[in-house]
Structure 1
């Protein structure tokens, strides 16, 4: 007679035990709170604390894949496959670029960019495989929203009071990467603020990616009868931060986010969102009277905007350079200012640095993550999970659209957040598939059980 023993392979870790969500939360705190231009002093490479955490996460993920007891997921998922494809393509690009002679400055930058790429893929895989179940994913998203609200407050202080709180975040172990350390610029007689990020564009796009998560948490809390005001407050602060960036890229990102959300929301929620948007504009009008006109002018004066002309005049240079290294590019990180022409377009920059293979891998990464989030929405019958799938998909459309208007990979904060959300899409799909097979009342999805032969037989 055969005794059937049922096990839970790759089961989630016990409550209270650190896991991938813990590591990712630490990464997000370091990414959002520590100013982007501050790096560790004692290292040969310019690495931020967030970079060090993500490199550690990559090492932890690799070690966890060699065990069966740490609760880390195993097996293929679309996001995991896309991350591996992106990593493999970047390795091929790096090998091709460094196989021949390179100027020492470009070689150093290629090495640095390769390390940062490993860190980005590492944090993405850590979230994808290490965040098990909806409860832990919820914890990570709450961390992102809370600290997104914190940097929005820092941006508001910079915009409204010209008070730069980042000056008080300079620790002895950190140094600025350049003497130019201002987080406040000017546009149309208004301050453009960056909070702790590297540039106002990055700050605005980061807020655009976090804002839908705040709306989701507030809506989810209301549906469960829990206090929702804290999440609405965070959402309001993040929305204000987006506006204070005075960034065209941020506005475009918010528009595409709204299109995705409106396509999936029921009619009643769409009407509610329109009323909230009108109320938000009234608040902006009261807080910063000239801000709405300045933002409106970003789109009405496109033909006379020097930033638009600057973005388009470099196409001839890009075309010539792409033709020289069409397949694998000239090397990740090797095209930089002031030595080379700046491309305010990530797709053009990727074509120059990583070729057609690298550009396709970069694009496919977010397309696959977008698909995974929507598939999780389709698989689940829980309204909260379905809304989360739509929300994560809306967040992931931002890097795809934003890459047309600025060189996204050159900015550490928005890049780190993008890879965390890519991993979150993979974790969400895993949890939705596991819930469909074996629902878990505790909110931590389990994987299907498998029969094992009696070892005593």
Structure 2
């Protein structure tokens, strides 16, 4: 998929991944393709196409796609086989037609996720191509946040005017892009829910800061990346999401340990200035965030999240090993578990829940390994950023049903694949001018 070999400037796997990112985040989440027996978005189709192209590329030696062992690649295959086994056990037993259809839908989405991770891990062969993918993520996050800002500040929802030929509004959900909390709007941008917007923004903000710091260290224009970072941070605030703040705090704990003192001092100063601007532009918003944590012990949303733990464990005990089937426990029929760990135990059993945690930890450890192998400061910072952002799904899975949100899920799998690509480049000594690695530099080998 990297036509022309590593470092090629023509269309390659990174180009297709950039198109996937735009399709996932810029096209409203509620728009799905017409004429299909199940609800699939444009991003879902692109992810399936990525898997097909990856499979075809494995039969050639001229397209530049990486082959051979990689920890992320092994983790992807293991996760896929575990989830396929859970699906097999679910359909062996009787399932009502609605739950069977949802199990089939979840399997298709799983195949797309595997394709996304493999395409990122094996199809991105040069640092500047990985930069292209992650910069597209930052720009897409800024676009989503602009839509969210208009929803929050002006009550203008651009997604209602985004009519694309061949697409229709899904009937799976009737939620709107604008909700409320403590008399304030909660917005989703182009995504499906405010929680999803907040957590996605939390995972993208560090990449905007990374590219801004990287540009500054090279004497290149950094303003565009700072602007994107500020817009994405605004999107996080306008989501009014507790999960987003927890995720961003987890990221900060890792980055402040790995960053030089000067960088985190600049970041803290920027944070203070940003919060001051939010205080002026959106009165009451900071107070609402404070109350979300100060009144956590009596917050109805937290009480709702915790009161169903005993019931969830009773359900999980009915199918403890492989679960009742991914996607079969859904809101309109069953009690909602705002906890992905509990939902995974119910739907995919202990095996599936362990596989979910393991594939994230695999990406996190691989990113740290790539950082250890590199002598280039920008590469080390990017690897640390990926590792930090992969903490967000581990934290967020305890506060909401993460895998039910396609934006968060796609970004998580993309970053896991990116960690594998970085490790492969580090071991192969691949560098690139103007990209993640310095021109003329050399990434140390294992």
Secondary structure of the 1:171 match is coil
Q: Map 1:66-77 onto structure 2 (within 5 A).
A: 66-77=59-70
What residue is the counterpart of 1:87 in the other structure? 80
Consecutive unaligned residues of structure 1, counting only runs of 5 or more, are 1-8, 449-457
Match of 1:432 among 426, 435, 438: 426
Asked if the contact 1:11–1:447 (Cα under 8 Å) also holds between the matched residues in 2, the reply is: no
Match of 2:270 among 266, 276, 283: 276
Query: 1:442–1:214: structure 2 CA closer, same or farther, 3 Å change rule?
Result: closer
Secondary structure of the 1:221 match is helix
* Cα deviation, residue 10, structure 1: 10
Query: 1:159–1:442: structure 2 CA closer, same or farther, 3 Å change rule?
Result: closer
Find the aligned partners of 1:315 and 1:181 in 2 and give their Cα distance.
25
* Cα deviation, residue 43, structure 1: 0.8
Find the aligned partners of 2:93 and 2:360 in 1 and give their Cα distance.
32
Match of 2:164 among 149, 167, 171: 171
- RMSD of aligned Cα (Å): 1.9
What residue is the counterpart of 1:18 in the other structure? 11
What residue is the counterpart of 1:141 in the other structure? 134
User: Residues 82-139 of structure 1: CA distance to partner in whole angstroms, max 9, x if unpaired?
Assistant: 1111100011001111112111111111000000011011111100100111010001
Find the aligned partners of 2:250 and 2:167 in 1 and give their Cα distance.
37
Which one has more relative contact order, counting CA pairs under 8 Å at least 6 apart?
Answer: 1
* Cα deviation, residue 174, structure 1: 1.3
Find the aligned partners of 1:181 and 1:344 in 2 and give their Cα distance.
16
* Cα deviation, residue 311, structure 1: 0.6
Q: Map 1:379-398 onto structure 2 (within 5 A).
A: 379-398=373-392
Consecutive unaligned residues of structure 2, counting only runs of 5 or more, are none
Match of 2:218 among 221, 224, 229: 224
Secondary structure of the 1:101 match is coil
2:162 is equivalent to residue 157 of structure 1: no
2:399 is equivalent to residue 405 of structure 1: yes
Asked if the contact 2:367–2:423 (Cα under 8 Å) also holds between the matched residues in 1, the reply is: yes
Match of 1:294 among 265, 288, 299: 288
Provide the aligned length of Structure 1 versus Structure 2: 438
Q: Map 1:157-236 onto structure 2 (within 5 A).
A: 157-178=150-171, 180-236=174-230
TM-score by length of 1: 0.93
Q: Map 1:208-357 onto structure 2 (within 5 A).
A: 208-357=202-351
TM-score by length of 2: 0.95
* Cα deviation, residue 172, structure 1: 3.1
Q: Map 1:20-99 onto structure 2 (within 5 A).
A: 20-99=13-92
Asked if the contact 1:13–1:70 (Cα under 8 Å) also holds between the matched residues in 2, the reply is: no
Find the aligned partners of 1:415 and 1:145 in 2 and give their Cα distance.
16
Secondary structure of the 1:427 match is helix
Find the aligned partners of 1:217 and 1:134 in 2 and give their Cα distance.
13
Find the aligned partners of 1:66 and 1:272 in 2 and give their Cα distance.
49
What residue is the counterpart of 1:3 in the other structure? none
* Cα deviation, residue 166, structure 1: 0.6
What residue is the counterpart of 1:452 in the other structure? none
Q: Which has the larger radius of gyration?
A: 1
2:408 is equivalent to residue 414 of structure 1: yes
What residue is the counterpart of 1:451 in the other structure? none
Secondary structure of the 2:390 match is helix
* Cα deviation, residue 359, structure 1: 0.8
